[in-house]
Amino acid sequence: MRTSLILACSAVTAHAANIVMSNDDGWAEINIRTFYQAIIAAGNSAFISAPAENKSGSGSLDATPEKLDEPCEFNSCPTGSPATGNNASMPQFNYVNSYPVTSIKYGIQTLASTLLPGPIDIAVTGPNVGSNLGLTTQLSGTVGAATEAAKEGIPAIAFSGSSGDATAWNVPAPSYALVYADLATNVTDTLLASGSPYLPKNVWLNVNFPDSDASTCSSASDFKFVLSRINTAVPIISGDDVSTCGNNKRLPTESDVVGTARCYASISVGHADTKLTASASEQSVVLQKLSSILSCLPS
């Protein structure tokens, strides 16, 4: 099933895209490495520029990278390594000894011109180890990296998954990592196939996957995507959402979607500056672009 989904993603890709990847769990965590393999298998060009160590919960912090005074996570680089570096046999895998925002900025501003055959088309971050639902987006470094890319004019998607713990890159990929990588590649390539501009200016997508294991949501084909909102709407203050699924201009929250039985994943449209829900008109653009993979929650 995994191979067929990747081939399906490749078939709908409008062109071989150029992609920068990051996260907050670190450059050697298995989710981002597995996602990279799926992105490449779908016919895209990509590279990773992510923190040398786990920087979960660092939000949009930014600081000059420094020489390593301890090994990179999972001993993926030795003590004393330079502030930035890569895997000698795989130069597409790059670490930055700083925060996720710093890492993706370094990827965009320094690495992309030498590691990609053309300008960056899209930035993707994660899949994060653990969900980033609602106001947790304010603290997430995975979200911080995505919103930084959006502020720099690059369409961006942050992916997060409920299952798993921080895991080294050099073990067999857990089943959830394979499933999340396929799902994230499907969303990414569907958006790319919709044509440029891929997202409205200063807008990013927040995607959350529910639990996946051998008995629950064990295959990418089990999942359905639902358009959602990041933060709970406040009466009078919050504007209307886009109309879809007979929702009377109010989308379900991410937590509502991911908490629904039968493998529903949320896709929210957010503003990069606030990390909160975007307007109905911006949601409408995404609804049209991702319509082929979007579903409705059960009544």
What was the pLDDT predicted at 236? 84
The domain spans of the chain are 2-289
List all residues 6 or more positions away from 88 whose beta carbon is below 8 Å from its beta carbon: none
Residue 261 contacts by C-beta under 8 Å, 6 or more apart in sequence? Answer: none
CA distance 84 to 115: 15
pTM summary value: 0.95
Domain 2-289 has CATH 3.40.1210.10: yes
C-alpha dist (Å) from residue 75 to 29, 31, 55, 96, 293: 11, 17, 16, 15, 39
Coil/strand/helix, residue 96: strand
Distance CA 131, CA 128 (A): 7
pLDDT for 9 equals 45
Q: What is the pLDDT of residue 4?
A: 42
* Cα(7)–Cα(246) distance, integer angstroms: 33
Nearest to 103 by CA among 168, 46, 148: 148
Q: Cβ–Cβ contacts within 10 Å for residue 90, how many?
A: 12
List of E strands, 30-118: 45-51, 84-87, 90-96
Predicted pLDDT at 235: 87
Predicted confidence pLDDT, tens digits, the chain (299 residues): 444 444 444 444 446 899 999 999 999 999 999 999 999 999 999 999 999 999 999 999 999 999 999 999 999 999 999 999 999 999 999 999 999 999 999 999 999 999 999 999 999 999 999 999 999 999 999 999 999 999 999 999 999 999 999 999 999 999 999 999 999 999 999 999 999 999 999 999 999 999 999 899 999 999 999 999 999 999 888 999 999 999 889 999 999 999 999 999 999 999 999 999 999 999 999 999 999 999 999 98
